Amino acid sequence: MSKHYDVIVIGGGPAGYVGAIRAAQLGLSTAVVDNFIYKDGEPSLGGTCLNVGCIPSKALLDSSEQYHKVKHTLSAHGIKAKDVELDVKEMIKRKDKVVKDLTGGIAQLFKANKIDWLKGHGKLLDNKQVQVTGQKGEQETYQAENVILAPGSRPIDIEAAPLDGDRIVNSDGALDFDDVPKRLGIIGAGVIGLEMGSVWSRLGSKVVLLEAQDQFLPTVDQRVAKSAQAEFKKQGLDIRFGARVTNAKTAKNVTVHYEDKDGKQSLQVDKLIVCVGRRPNTGDLFSEDANLLLDERGFVNVNEQCETNLPGVYAIGDVVRGPMLAHKGSEEGVMVAELIAGGNGHVNYDTIPWVIYTHPEIAWVGRTEQSLKSAGIPFKSGTFNFGATGRARAMEETAGMVKIIAHAETDRILGVHIVGPQASELIAEAVVAMEFHASSEDLARIIHAHPTLSEAVHEAALSVSKRAIHKAN
Amino acid sequence: EDAELSPAVRRLVDEHQLDPRAIEATGPGGRITKEDVLRHMESGSSDS
């Protein structure tokens, strides 16, 4: 085996594996070090996203939505289903198969691109050497021309609610319940908490989310957040704000003690999910003499092009600044591979879309109204409700809205915010528009197929200049 | 040539009978944005 590579990537998640494939496409000899072991004991590429993140959570969100539909919403279409049964084990099994197929697919792509998969823990040593420690402790050291650090992130634990692997779990454990908990507590009403809460609530759990902040989704445009919050309330998601968990005790059930503005409170649940955030995996990532610089928050310090303080050493994805999103890491991987090959890679951090896969979905790109206000940037905005589109009515999916914000003088689109059916898909159009510096008038003058949900985006763009057709302006 | 203009730019150029070649383009790939047209018209460099 070659002990020398043009590029060694540490971490086979969305940032690392994509960067590796791009590097190999550009003719660089490439290896990926990865130590993730799936729950069946097998090494598995794909990182958090494919194994215990995006993909399994979406698999369960889709399954649980099908169940919820057949149980609760199909009757509106005149479809009556009797004796609907839920087999949670089968649902989890399907999720595992989706994960296995996709992670196996990456291994195939590595073969096709002649990328070496070095199984074990990767550690950066001095002078761009990478030490790989296998599962049995065997060690091998490789020399790289360039190193890409993509070790990812892990859930943050809190002292007040230590995980016990059964009743108190993090997001990993929440993907593998073998039964529907009657009462489910979730610490943290962010993206992960809301998605996990949605899955189990649709399957019948009584869900309570304890959120330490006073505001719902503070980084989301507040009009869209309020609209989503009202929907979630209707669905029975009980979100409690300003709730600081002080202690969680496991006996037959879990008793969660917390404090809010009214004083001390307690809550009885069968399972508790801790999802208060994620932190970068920098533990044992580099030896001391490598002299890699971290920033004040513990992320690997990088510039706009993901270069660390060490020449030829890059860091990408969740281990560096910026949103912890799979597509952000992947784009950084592509950029770095292209830079190494002598090209001109770049990532536009202003047009990274965000998605929360609840029902209705929430998706956005660019600036929020509250951030523009505090920055003193003059803007105008337009909104349109899905309920006023024929397609949403036909689908019986009328909740939600599109909001488009444009600069008051130049009309350039500054942000697009969607809560509603297929918001995750609809946001792509907004990203393209912003990437091309489009004005709201551009979007308003582009033909949108009828009847489609995308017409809500079109009408919201028209509404910016008060000329929406299907509402009073 | 007209096909390279975005819908809003096409509308402004037509309405105000502007020469797109006289407008300084700042968009990606040398494209003219709506902002560019508005700036061009404000600066009074009318070419109609």
- A134-179, pLDDT tens digit by residue? 999 999 999 999 999 999 999 999 999 999 989 999 999 999 999 9
Same domain membership, residue A336 and residue A220: no
Contacting residues of B for A410, CB less than 8 Å apart: 34-35, 38
Nearest to A123 by CA among A102, A98, A147, A94: A147
More confident residue, A2 or A105: A105
| Residue A454 and residue A398 in contact, taking contact as beta carbons nearer than 8 Å | no
Residue-wise pLDDT tens digits, A364-420: 999 999 999 999 999 999 999 999 999 999 999 999 999 999 999 999 999 999 999
Same domain membership, residue A380 and residue A357: yes
Q: Which amino acid is at B38?
A: L
Residue carrying structure tokens 């194994």: A51
User: Which of B6, B28, B38 shows the shortest C-beta gap to A442?
Assistant: B6
- A429 domain-assigned: yes
Min CA distance, A467 vs chain B (Å)? 15
Residue-wise pLDDT tens digits, A116-146: 999 999 999 999 999 999 999 999 999 999 9
Contacting residues of A for B15, CB less than 8 Å apart: none
User: Which of A411, A435, A446 shows the shortest C-beta gap to B34?
Assistant: A411
- A159 domain-assigned: no
Kindly report the average pLDDT of chain A as a whole number: 96
- A418 domain-assigned: yes
Average pLDDT over residues A440-450: 98
Number of domains chain A contains = 3
Is residue A325 annotated as involved in ligand binding? yes
Average pLDDT over residues A179-193: 97
CATH number, position A382 = 3.30.390.30
User: Which of B7, B11, B27 shows the shortest C-beta gap to A437?
Assistant: B27
| Residue A52 and residue A171 in contact, taking contact as beta carbons nearer than 8 Å | yes
| Residue A404 and residue A339 in contact, taking contact as beta carbons nearer than 8 Å | no
Helical segments of A131-203, H only:
171-174, 191-202
Same domain membership, residue A270 and residue A181: yes
- A471 domain-assigned: no
Same domain membership, residue A367 and residue A267: no
- A473 domain-assigned: no
- The token pair at A455 is 């017409």
Nearest to A58 by CA among A247, A163, A199, A224: A199
Average pLDDT over residues A288-313: 97
State residue A344's pLDDT score.
Answer: 85
Is residue A442 annotated as involved in ligand binding? no
Same domain membership, residue A107 and residue A232: no
Same domain membership, residue A144 and residue A18: yes
In B, minimum Cα distance to A447 occurs at: B7
Contacting residues of A for B40, CB less than 8 Å apart: none
Angle, vertex CA A430, rays to CA A426 and CA A432, nearest 5: 115
Best mutation site among B2, B12, B34 for testing chain A: the one with the most A CBs within 10 Å?
B34
Subunit contact A412:B31, Cβ cutoff 8 A = no
Subunit contact A438:B33, Cβ cutoff 8 A = yes
Min CA distance, B32 vs chain A (Å)? 9
Radius of gyration of chain A measured on its C-alpha atoms:
24
Contacts with B, A 391-430, CB within 8 Å: 407, 409-412
Please say if A450 is a catalytic residue.
Answer: yes
Flag whether pLDDT at B48 surpasses 60.
no
Q: Which of A4, A72, A77, A450 is catalytic?
A: A450
* Residue-range definition of the domain harbouring residue A209: 168-276
Residue-wise pLDDT tens digits, A239-289: 999 999 999 999 889 999 999 999 999 999 999 999 999 999 999 999 999
Residue-wise pLDDT tens digits, B3-30: 589 999 999 999 999 999 999 999 988 8
Considering A347, A363, A381, which residue would you say is the last residue of a domain?
A347
Contacting residues of B for A435, CB less than 8 Å apart: 28
In B, minimum Cα distance to A412 occurs at: B35
Nearest to A382 by CA among A447, A469, A452: A469
Considering A244, A276, A308, which residue would you say is the last residue of a domain?
A276
Contacting residues of A for B34, CB less than 8 Å apart: 410-412, 438-439, 441-442
β-strand partners of A132? A122, A140
Is residue A190 annotated as involved in ligand binding? yes
β-strand partners of A8? A31, A147
Min CA distance, B6 vs chain A (Å)? 6
Size of interface A-B (CB pairs under 8 A): 47
Subunit contact B7:A410, Cβ cutoff 8 A = no
Average pLDDT over residues A91-98: 98
Subunit contact A437:B35, Cβ cutoff 8 A = yes
Same domain membership, residue A222 and residue A264: yes
Local confidence band at B45 (pLDDT 50, 70, 90 cut-offs): low
Nearest to B33 by CA among B43, B41, B24: B24
| Residue A66 and residue A73 in contact, taking contact as beta carbons nearer than 8 Å | no
| Residue A52 and residue A174 in contact, taking contact as beta carbons nearer than 8 Å | no
Q: Is A350 on the interface with B (CB under 8 A)?
A: no
State residue A27's pLDDT score.
Answer: 98
Same domain membership, residue A140 and residue A191: no
Subunit contact B6:A439, Cβ cutoff 8 A = yes
Contacts with A, B 1-48, CB within 8 Å: 6-9, 11, 26-28, 31, 33-35, 38
Same domain membership, residue A132 and residue A16: yes
Flag whether pLDDT at B44 surpasses 80.
no
Same domain membership, residue A125 and residue A221: no
Contacting residues of A for B27, CB less than 8 Å apart: 436-437
Residue carrying structure tokens 């009584």: A206
In A, minimum Cα distance to B31 occurs at: A436
- A160 domain-assigned: no
Compute CA A268 distance to the chain's CA centroid, rounded to the nearest angstrom: 29
| Residue A201 and residue A207 in contact, taking contact as beta carbons nearer than 8 Å | yes
SS3 for A441? helix
Model-level ipTM above the cut of 0.95: no
**pLDDT > 90 fraction of chain A, expressed in percent and rounded:** 97
Q: With 0-12 CB in 10 A as exposed, 13-18 as middle and 19+ as buried, what is A431? A: middle
Residue-wise pLDDT tens digits, A336-365: 999 999 988 889 999 999 999 999 999 999
- A75 domain-assigned: yes
- A469 domain-assigned: no
Is residue A209 annotated as involved in ligand binding? no
Flag whether pLDDT at A49 surpasses 60.
yes
Same domain membership, residue A393 and residue A455: yes
Contacting residues of B for A429, CB less than 8 Å apart: none
In B, minimum Cα distance to A410 occurs at: B35
CATH number, position A201 = 3.50.50.60
Same domain membership, residue A149 and residue A286: yes
Subunit contact A441:B8, Cβ cutoff 8 A = yes
H or E stretch covering A417: strand A413-420
Subunit contact A441:B38, Cβ cutoff 8 A = no
Min CA distance, B11 vs chain A (Å)? 9
- The token pair at A280 is 């970068």
Tell me the C-alpha distance between A301 and A285, whole Å. 14
Kindly report the backbone phi and psi dihedral angles of residue A288, in degrees, each rounded to the nearest multiple of 5, phi listed first.
Answer: -60, -40
Compute CA A375 distance to the chain's CA centroid, rounded to the nearest angstrom: 27
| Residue A36 and residue A51 in contact, taking contact as beta carbons nearer than 8 Å | yes
Considering A330, A347, A364, which residue would you say is the last residue of a domain?
A347
State residue B2's pLDDT score.
Answer: 54
Contacting residues of B for A438, CB less than 8 Å apart: 6, 8, 33-34
